[in-house]
Copies of this chain bind each other. A is one copy, B any other.
Amino acid sequence: MLRVAIAGASGYTGFELIRILSHHPQVELTTITSRVQAGQRLDAFYPAMKGHCELVFENTTPEVLTANADLVFTALPHQAAMDFVPNLLERGVKVIDLSADYRLKDPLVYEAWYQPHKTPELLAQAVYGLPELHRQRIRPARLVANPGCYPTSIILPSAPLLQKALIDPKTLIADSKSGVTGAGRGVSLAVHFCEVSDSFKAYKVAEHRHTPEIEQELSGLAGEPVCLTFTPHLVPMSRGILSTVYATLREEVTLDRIDEAFASFYRDAPFVRLCGRGELPTTLQVRGSNYCDIGWRVDERNRRLIVVSVIDNLTRGASGQAVCNMNLMSGMPEELGLDYAPWQP
């Protein structure tokens, strides 16, 4: 049994980790921490968990987290993660960090979008934890930077197209729509039921901090710099992200070549399901699961490709993907503990 701990376990991401790990057949969840909830039982805070987890939130310190763990998930705000992760690594545990702090390779890019990085020397060893792109490098990693929810939903539908040079990278636009859990469990007017219900809005247009990690990964695939226009929107639903990705096809690219690119890129990916040309997925069909479902369609009048991807932002966009990375880092099957059907309806 792998012994694991979760730092910052009281939010939606932390809870989703607890939910998945409490049923993982080869994991013992030993420790959950929360600065604010320290001392409280998990099942008092989340009555749903009664009978499934008897843990009590402890204080978030390196000592507590590493006392009984071989691997630690850090689900802390960015900046806070940076203060913590080096300490954990020094104590010999493996770390999967769900913040943005170790996703970018270039500390100057991090500084441009966030603020100065305190431990830039760790960036080289951190692996960007998107299994479909970096499976082989994740397996031996000691520090995995778990991707953001929007980036997961945008990189996966774009990757085969850029790798095979089927689209013009200068024309790439990602119009994404997210459920409200993406904003976290913190309270604010922006997540008040009556401000969200029966409403729809865009936010952080062309300035969302998930932009540089998408560009880093897509540039690597394209072999040239990719500069994306990215527009997030808020949907009155709890879970799910749908990204509509637009790009102009390069000359002579046929529909069959697009289909083939997707099929070959995801041939061995257990968590990507291709709907195919013309069939478009809904967020509901992946809810609660680690799947990314992808469909596409060509606007032939404009030679523009439209790819639609859906994920569950808490599972594939955060905690499910983190467990998948844990499986890979621990020599377990990639799907272990994650191979259940989506929640319907």
User: Which residues of A approach B to under 8 Å, CB–CB?
Assistant: 12, 15, 19, 22-23, 46-53, 170-171, 173, 175, 177, 179-181, 185, 187-189, 191-203, 205-206, 227-229, 231, 233, 235-240, 242, 244, 246, 270, 273, 275, 280-289, 293, 297-302, 304, 306, 308, 310, 340-345
Contacts and interface: CB of A to CB of B under 8 A. Distances in A.
A192 B182 CA distance: 12
Interface centre among A194, A202, A342 (most CB of B within 10 A): A194
A341 B180 contact: no
A7 to B, nearest CB: 20
A282 B171 CA distance: 27
9 nearest A-B residue pairs (beta carbon): A199-B284, A206-B299, A201-B282, A48-B342, A175-B175, A48-B285, A187-B187, A194-B345, A193-B196
A162 to B, nearest CB: 16
Contact of A235 (B48, B202, B206, B236): B236
Given A47-B285, A199-B287, A202-B242, 17 more contacts: A22-B341, A47-B281, A48-B286, A48-B344, A177-B233, A180-B197, A193-B238, A197-B197, A197-B345, A198-B240, A201-B242, A205-B299, A229-B246, A229-B299, A235-B236, A238-B345, A288-B288
B46 A344 contact: yes
Contacts of A199: 237, 240, 282-284, 287, 345
A312 B177 CA distance: 19
B206 A345 contact: no
Nearest to A16: B344
Nearest to A195: B345
Contact of A275 (B23, B47, B299, B300): B47
A248 to B, nearest CB: 9
A242 B187 contact: no
A343 B289 CA distance: 11
A47 B294 CA distance: 12
A233 B240 CA distance: 14
A236 B177 contact: no
Contacts of A198: 179, 197-198, 237-240, 283-284, 287, 345
A246 B230 CA distance: 11
B194 A191 contact: yes
A52 B341 contact: yes
A181 B192 CA distance: 10
A194 B293 contact: no
Contacts of A235: 200, 235-236
Highest count of chain B CB atoms <10 Å: which of A46, A236, A293? A236
A275 B44 CA distance: 10
B297 A205 contact: yes
B238 A197 contact: yes
A1 to B, nearest CB: 18
A273 B308 contact: no
Nearest to A53: B341
